[in-house]
């Protein structure tokens, strides 16, 4: 729990760092999470962020808060997201602004596959936005995302890839369903195509 909280903080802070560091920083929690997912001994936090880095984080956290208030923005630093898993069970989590739903799911031990680790080369992090209003608040999917969605199981009118849905204030309260893949299994790719 502590690890998850601190990691979340790390990712949140990362976006306030110069851009060139962003990718590297925000990547770490994800890698750590997926490792845990496979029941290996969890890497200690200090292995991922060395000592000085942690201190830096703590310093930065106050800076972050100040920055936000200085900008006079009422924006929240994290939004509420609900994941509804294959069995209909709900997971309520907080997602820092700027973080993808794929990363957020992995940080919170929510089972969302991510075969290509967010590089837009697979369809395994497919989620269904449960309310059309929220779906309409998202940027339109790019051709590349749509190409991948073509191959997603249980595709719906409000399907997106979790790696392409990035937390922003308007999405506070969004509900995302993880499709029950096996239900649709026989529909697609099952019968060998005649040539």
Partner 1 sequence: MQKMAIWKAKQWLSRSFSSMPSNPLRVCVVGSGPAGFYTAEKMLKVQQQAQVDIIDRLPTPFGLVRSGVAPDHPETKIVINQFSRVAQHERCSFFGTVTLGSSISLSELRELYHVVVLAYGAESDRSLGIPGENLKGIHSAREFVWWYNGHPDGRNLDPDLKSTDTAVILGQGNVALDVARILLRPTTELATTDIASHALSALEESSIRKVYLVGRRGPAQAACTAKELREILGLRNLDISIQEPDLILTPDVEEGLTSNRIQRRVYELLSKAATSRPKNDAGLSKRQLHFVFFRKPDSFIESKDRHGHASGVYFEKTVLKGVGPGKQIAIGTGEFEVINCGLVLKSIGYKSIPVDGLPFDHKKGIVPNDRGRVLSDTSGDSILEEGLYVCGWLKRGPTGIVATNLHCAEETVSSISEDLEKGVLSSSSPKPGRDGLLQLLNDRNVRVVSFSDWEKIDSEERKLGSSRNKPREKLATWDELQKYTL
Shortest distance, CB of residue 189 to partner 1, whole angstroms? 4
Task: Considering the complex, state which of residue 92 and residue 183 has its C-beta at the smaller distance from partner 1.
Answer: 183
| Site map 100..119 versus partner 1, x via CB under 8 A | -------------x-xxx-x
The rounded distance, in Å, linking the Cα atoms of 12 and 26 is 8
Q: Any idea what the Cα angle at residue 80 is, between residues 175 and 33, rounded to 5°?
A: 90
Whether the CB-CB separation of 180 and 88 falls below 8 Å is answered with no
| Dihedral class, residue 44 (left if φ above 0, else alpha if ψ from -120 to 50, else beta) | beta
The residue (of 52 and 193) whose beta carbon lies closer to partner 1 is 193
Q: Closer to partner 1 by CB, 108 or 123: give it.
A: 123
The residue (of 96 and 114) whose beta carbon lies closer to partner 1 is 114
Write down the H helix ranges in 38-156. 45-48, 51-70, 101-107, 132-137, 143-149
Other CB atoms closer than 10 Å to residue 122's CB: what's the count? 18
Q: Does 148 bind partner 1 (CB under 8 A)?
A: yes
Q: Which of 25, 43, 120, 166 binds partner 1 (CB under 8 A)?
A: 120
Residue 63, interface with partner 1 (CB under 8 A)? no
Q: Does 194 contact partner 1 by CB under 8 A?
A: yes
Residue 62 interacts with partner 1 (CB under 8 A)? no
Q: Are 167 and 96 in contact (CB under 8 A)?
A: yes
34 is an interface residue for partner 1 by CB under 8 A:
yes
């Amino acid at each position: 729990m502590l690890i998850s909280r601190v990691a979340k903080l790390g990712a949140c802070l990362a976006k306030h760092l110069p851009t060139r560091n962003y990718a590297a920083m925000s990547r770490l929690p994800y890698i750590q999470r997926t490792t845990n997912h496979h029941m290996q001994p969890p890497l200690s936090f200090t292995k991922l962020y060395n000592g000085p880095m942690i201190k830096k984080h703590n310093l930065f956290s106050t800076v972050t808060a100040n920055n936000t208030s200085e900008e006079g923005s009422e924006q929240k630093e994290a939004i509420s997201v609900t994941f509804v898993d294959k069995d209909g069970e709900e997971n309520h989590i907080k997602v820092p602004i700027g973080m993808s739903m794929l990363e957020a799911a992995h940080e919170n031990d929510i089972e969302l596959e991510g075969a290509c680790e967010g590089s837009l080369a697979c369809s395994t992090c497919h989620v269904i936005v449960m309310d059309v209003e929220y779906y309409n608040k998202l940027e339109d999917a790019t051709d590349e995302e749509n190409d991948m969605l073509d191959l997603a199981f249980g595709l719906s009118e409000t399907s997106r890839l979790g790696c392409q849905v990035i937390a922003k204030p308007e999405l506070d309260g969004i509900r995302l369903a993880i499709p029950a893949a096996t239900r649709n299994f026989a529909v697609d790719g099952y019968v060998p195509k005649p040539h």
